[in-house]
Amino acid sequence: MYNKVSICGVDTAKLPVLREAQNEALLKRTRAGDNIAREELINGNLRLVLSVIQRFTNRGENLDDLFQVGCIGLIKSIDNFDISQNVRFSTYAVPMIIGEIRRYLRDNNSIRVSRSIKDTAYKAMQVKEKLTAKTGKEPQVQEIANELKLPVEDIVIALESVVSPISLYDPVYSDGGDTIYVLDQVGDKNDDNNWLSEIAFKEAIKNLSDREKHILSLRFMQGKTQMEVSEEIGISQAQVSRLEKGALQKIRE
């Protein structure tokens, strides 16, 4: 109950909440060099930080630490927010706060990631935050890659490499009764149905002709269209379609 009421010595029940008009007025005064307005703006948006750190409560991290890191993100968003843009302050601040917390969690991760990949991930996160603030929606990986002039594969690898690992005992769902954990969602490849199905599938494949195997490989392993397959093996698209359907029917039978 302590963490729900007091974080970093702050009584969260007594935190003020600013309206958007108040935020705008304080931001203008802050840009004019009014430090009192800046402090009031920070204090008036601590509930925003509090709402963000609730997303990270299942990671076993100290809420006081997350709250302090979130406050850093809030301050950065105040200092970098462009008041000339037609964007709500909270829309800009939330991704900044989340980004700051994620960087903190990555830097404190026990899994070591190379510096070059981590640098790419940081740049990608910064671009993601910038594009989110600009467009009001989360950008596609391709957009981030275009902005950094890097291959999409490099962006995906970098972002995936710095994601915090999930515990098998993290809760997935609870309706007030039995809680479902990640462990409960992990499939068992050793159960009888799985290995029996695998044996049956392999036996079915053996019964196909070489041409049928080749067509299925091109279609489903290499992701080629029927037209591309027809051009590669020198038959019509209609023949490819007929052979493909026949092969799939043999496997089903």
Is the model's pLDDT at 195 over the cut of 70?
Answer: no
Compute the Cα dihedral for 135, 141, 143, 146 and give only its sign.
positive
Please name which of 132, 130, 124 lies closest in space to residue 156, comparing C-alpha atoms. 124
Q: How high is the pLDDT of residue 148?
A: 92
Quote the tokens at residue 195.
């290995």
Whole-number mean pLDDT of the chain? 81
Average pLDDT rounded to a whole number, residues 165-172: 64
Which position has the token pair 């009014």?
34
Which position has the token pair 């060099």?
33
Q: pLDDT tens-digit profile of 77-91?
A: 888 888 888 888 888
What residues have CB less than 8 Å from 89, skipping those under 6 apart?
Answer: 20, 23, 24, 27, 45, 77, 81
Report d(CA 124, CA 161) in Å as an integer: 12
Is the model's pLDDT at 183 over the cut of 90?
Answer: no
- More confidently predicted of 225 and 107: 225
CATH of domain 192-252: 1.10.10.10
Residue 10 parent element (H or E): strand 10-11
Please name which of 97, 92, 95, 113 lies closest in space to residue 163, comparing C-alpha atoms. 113
Banded model confidence at residue 144, pLDDT cuts 50, 70, 90: very high
Q: Cα 237 to the chain's mean position, in Å?
A: 40
Banded model confidence at residue 146, pLDDT cuts 50, 70, 90: very high
Domain 1-108 is found in CATH 1.20.120.1810: yes
- More confidently predicted of 198 and 36: 36
Range(s) within the chain of domains with CATH label 1.20.120.1810:
1-108
Question: Percentage of residues in the chain with pLDDT exceeding 90?
Answer: 6
Compute the Cα dihedral for 239, 243, 244, 249 and give only its sign.
positive
Report d(CA 187, CA 189) in Å as an integer: 6
Average pLDDT rounded to a whole number, residues 146-163: 85
Quote the tokens at residue 96.
């900044």
Q: How high is the pLDDT of residue 2?
A: 39
Q: Taking the CB of residue 253, how many other CB atoms lie within 10 A of it? A: 7
In this predicted structure, which of 21-25, 61-65, 189-193, 210-214 has the lowest mean pLDDT?
Answer: 189-193
Quote the tokens at residue 169.
């005992």
Under CATH, which architecture does the 114-166 domain have? Answer: Orthogonal Bundle (1.10)
Range(s) within the chain of domains with CATH label 1.10.10.10:
114-166, 192-252
180: DSSP letter: E
Start-end of H helices in the chain: 2-5, 20-31, 35-44, 46-53, 63-80, 89-107, 115-135, 141-148, 152-161, 182-185, 192-206, 210-216, 226-233, 237-252
For the chain, how big is the Rg over CA atoms in Å?
27
Threshold 0.75, pTM exceeds: no
Residue type, 222: Q
Average pLDDT rounded to a whole number, residues 181-195: 62
Q: Cα 74 to the chain's mean position, in Å?
A: 21
Is the model's pLDDT at 120 over the cut of 60?
Answer: yes
Residue type, 182: V
